[in-house]
Structure formats: structure tokens, C-alpha cells
Amino acid sequence: MEFSYYPGCSLHATGLEYDASTRAVFNALGVKLVEIKDWVCCGASSAHSVSADLALNLPAINIALAQEARHGDLLAPCAACFNRTKAADYALRNDPARRKSIEEAVSFTYTGDVHIRNPLDVVASDIGLDAVASKVTRSLIGLKVVSYYGCLLVRPPHLMEFDNPENPTVMNRIVEKLGADVKDWSYATDCCGGSASLPRVDIATRLVSGLAQHAREAGAEAIVTACPLCQMNLEMRQAEKPNVPIFYFTELMGLAFDLPDARSWWGKHLISTTPVLSAAGLI
């Protein structure tokens, strides 16, 4: 099994530990990730905010690159990249008029061979939860978490076709397989205000603090997520102390697989993971 790996801008910067843990875990599971050569920015929220065409043309470049690379489907861990690339792919696949203008702007011919995938889905469906379970040597028993999916993984529903948009469970199932205690809560897909994180700190603070508080009320000591923007925003904008640490699901997988690299990831977090992990006897 192999994928054309598209880390995106965040995974090379503020989302470093997501990149590192994804690579390590997929390697451990025997899946080959070939980083797309000279990939470009997907445009995130800024492109679609100011231009309808740019919104699709930019991510389409990466589809073109993945097509040329021929290392399988495009795997995008970042939820925003995943969302935007899927949007471009949807237009290319279903709208002949837009397909024409995108192909012209990007100078390529769309084949539709490359599908846009996300690691949560690949782990659960392609690799399988049994394979995950078989690799667990350090069970995460004692770790109480809630799964936070955020917005862009699941919405718009007809575009993302990702799990149940109001009540997704894929991440829950994976993290449960690692032995952790995944608590129920009602805020798994409520917006964290990531796009307002810099321009309107007040809004982001309100939304993030709310989520942290709800996580605490659900009995969790940490939040698990699959989006670098969410992770950073949730780390940066909590108003109440002690702050709730924010993990990437791939980090928990790496920890449960007892991968040696895992130790290097914790130092990257803005909110220390040490108290929670040592209380659970995991470090």
C-alpha cells in the first residue's frame, strides 16, 4: 500500500508533530508514503474567501502533481488541505465547465485516477482496526480523552462524504483500539474558531475555552484531534488553567505502538503533555 503524501504547509511548521507521527505510524504499519515533489499550498481558507477560481485552481495543482507522481492516492493529513483538495477534485469530477477552466489554469488533464484520502479513513478502512490493535504494545489504559473532529473533515457532508457529519466515530474507534477511554460529548464537530485565531482572538478564545470546558465536563483530561489548525488553536487560545493538552491521534498511535520517535513529539506541544501522560503511567 502506498500513497502520494501531501503534508501541506502546516505540517512543515506549526504541525510538525502531526507530520512526524503520521510518517512514523504509517511506516510501522507497512504503508509507504511518498511525499509529493514540490507540492504547493492548497489555499486553505484564504483562497476561497476572495476568489472562487483560485479556491479550486490552487489545490488542483497538487492533484496534477499526484497524478504525475503515480504513487497512488493523495493522502492529506491536514483537514483543511483535505477539504480544499476534495473540493477541487469534486469540481473536476462532476462539473465539466469548471473542469475545463481548472485544467486550463493549471495546464494538466484530469484523469480522476487519484482519490483524495485522509489518514483517519485510511487507518480505519484500508489498514483496518485489527492491524492497529496488533501493533499496540503499550495500551493507553488510564488515558481519558474526547475526540475532536472539527469542521472541515466532515462538512459539507455531500462533498466530504466522511463518516457521520453530526456524530462521527472513526477517530473514537481508532483511539479506543489503542486502549484509551474515549468519553462521549456533544461538541465533536463544533467549530473551534481556527480561522479567527489571529484576526479575532476574542472569538477564538471564546470557542476554544468552551470546548476545553466541555471536554473537562465530559470527564476527559485531553483532547485528540486530526487537524493541525485545530490543534494549534486549541493549544493557543484556552482561557482557563490548567489547560487541557491536545494530541494528534497519530501521536497516540505512535505512543501505543511504543515507537522510539514518540518521545520527540511531546516537546513540540505548547501545552505540556507530561502531567497527563505520566499520570496514566505512559511516560
Provide the grid cell at 21: 507521527
Whole-number minimum distance, CB 135 to other proteins, in Å? 28
Whole-number minimum distance, CB 42 to other proteins, in Å? 9
Whole-number minimum distance, CB 196 to other proteins, in Å? 6
Sort 256 into a burial class: Cβ within 10 Å, 0-12 / 13-18 / 19+.
buried
Identity of the residue, 70 or 281, whose beta carbon is nearer to other proteins in the bound complex = 70
Identity of the residue, 177 or 237, whose beta carbon is nearer to other proteins in the bound complex = 237
Neighbours of 216 (CB within 10 A): 15
Distance CA 270, CA 104 (A): 43
| Residues in touch with other proteins (CB under 8 A) | 9-10, 12-14, 16, 37-41, 43-55, 57-58, 61, 65, 101, 104-107, 151-152, 154-157, 165, 189-191, 193-196, 198-201, 203, 207, 236, 267-268, 270
Residues in CB range of 13: below 8 A, 6 or more apart = none
Whole-number minimum distance, CB 200 to other proteins, in Å? 7
Beta partners for residue 74, in sequence order: 4, 116
Identity of the residue, 10 or 147, whose beta carbon is nearer to other proteins in the bound complex = 10
Reply yes or no: is the peptide bond before residue 242 cis, omega within 30 of 0: yes
Identity of the residue, 108 or 139, whose beta carbon is nearer to other proteins in the bound complex = 108
Whole-number minimum distance, CB 119 to other proteins, in Å? 20
| Strand arrangement of the beta sheet that strand 222-225 belongs to | 181-182, 144-148, 222-225, 246-248
